[in-house]
């Protein structure tokens, strides 16, 4: 699907709003992972993501390519404020929400998935664990700065893997003797979320 910028901006606003009572629950790393999980798991289930956003390989996992300008837009519209906050001797981002988001962009099932991913990421993970969990062979399928294709969510551990540079159109292939060593478990993070999704009845296969 084509990128729906308005829907993506509403999703970012909604995720930040969901943590408005305790902004410390959500930083940049967790925000990016909630967006990624929500889009990829919806694609896994329905064949179409929520927003059509492009996700890029970065050091701490997949990052939506439009996140920075969209956050700037939300700040310019006085819907939220992004601030630096101390965190164990470091600095992390926090999001102070000034206005409620629109709920009209989301189908009921999409909102349920997003809500579950917010709880999954914010309540069951630290920024470090969610980042490490996203460094699977889906993340490894692209060079730094390249797009991570949505179809990689269907790859099977030990049977298929992406070659480096797939974001530049290189082929998807398999090397049985190397797959288990090089790929590792399929989606260290996504299977956990998928198990939760099955328990909630969103994934039945």
pLDDT tens, position by position, 163-173: 343 333 333 33
* CA atoms lying within 13 Å on the CB side of residue 201: 2
Tokens of 102: 């629109």
38 close to 32: Cβ distance less than 8 angstroms:
no
Positive or negative torsion for Cα 200, 21, 107, 76: negative
Residue-level pLDDT at 162: 42
pLDDT tens digits, 52-63: 999 999 888 899
- pLDDT of 194 reads 57
Domain ranges of the chain: 5-135+188-199
Render 172-184 in DSSP notation, one character per residue. EE--HHHHHHHH-
Model pLDDT, residue 51: 97
Q: What is the pLDDT, as a whole number, of residue 46?
A: 87
Using CA atoms, how far apart are residues 27 and 102, in angstroms rounded to an integer?
21
Q: What is the pLDDT of residue 192?
A: 53
Whether the pTM exceeds 0.85: the reply is no
Q: pLDDT value at position 152?
A: 78
Which residue ranges in the chain fall short of pLDDT 70?
134-141, 155-205
> What is the Cα 119 distance to its own chain's centre?
13
Question: How many residues appear in the chain?
Answer: 205
User: What separation in angstroms does the CA of 10 have from each of 24, 81, 97, 177?
Assistant: 21, 15, 13, 44
């Amino acid at each position: 699907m084509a990128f729906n910028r308005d829907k993506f901006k509403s999703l970012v606003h909604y995720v930040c709003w969901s943590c408005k009572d305790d902004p410390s629950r959500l930083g940049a790393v967790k925000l990016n992972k909630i967006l990624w999980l929500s889009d990829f798991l919806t694609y896994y289930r329905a064949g179409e993501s929520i927003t059509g956003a492009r996700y890029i390989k970065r050091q701490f996992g997949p990052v939506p390519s439009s996140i920075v300008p969209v956050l700037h837009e939300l700040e310019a519209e006085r819907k939220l404020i992004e601030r630096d906050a101390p965190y164990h001797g470091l600095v992390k981002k926090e999001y102070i929400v000034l206005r409620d988001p629109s709920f009209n962009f989301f189908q009921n099932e999409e909102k349920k998935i997003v809500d579950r991913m917010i709880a999954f990421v914010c309540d069951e993970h630290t920024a470090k664990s969610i980042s490490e969990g996203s460094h699977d062979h889906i993340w490894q399928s692209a060079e730094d700065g390249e797009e991570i294709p949505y179809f990689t969510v269907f790859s099977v551990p030990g049977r298929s893997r992406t070659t480096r540079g797939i974001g530049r159109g290189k082929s998807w292939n398999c090397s049985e003797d190397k797959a288990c060593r090089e790929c590792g478990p399929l989606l260290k993070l996504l299977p956990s979320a998928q198990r939760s999704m099955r328990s909630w009845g969103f994934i039945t296969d």
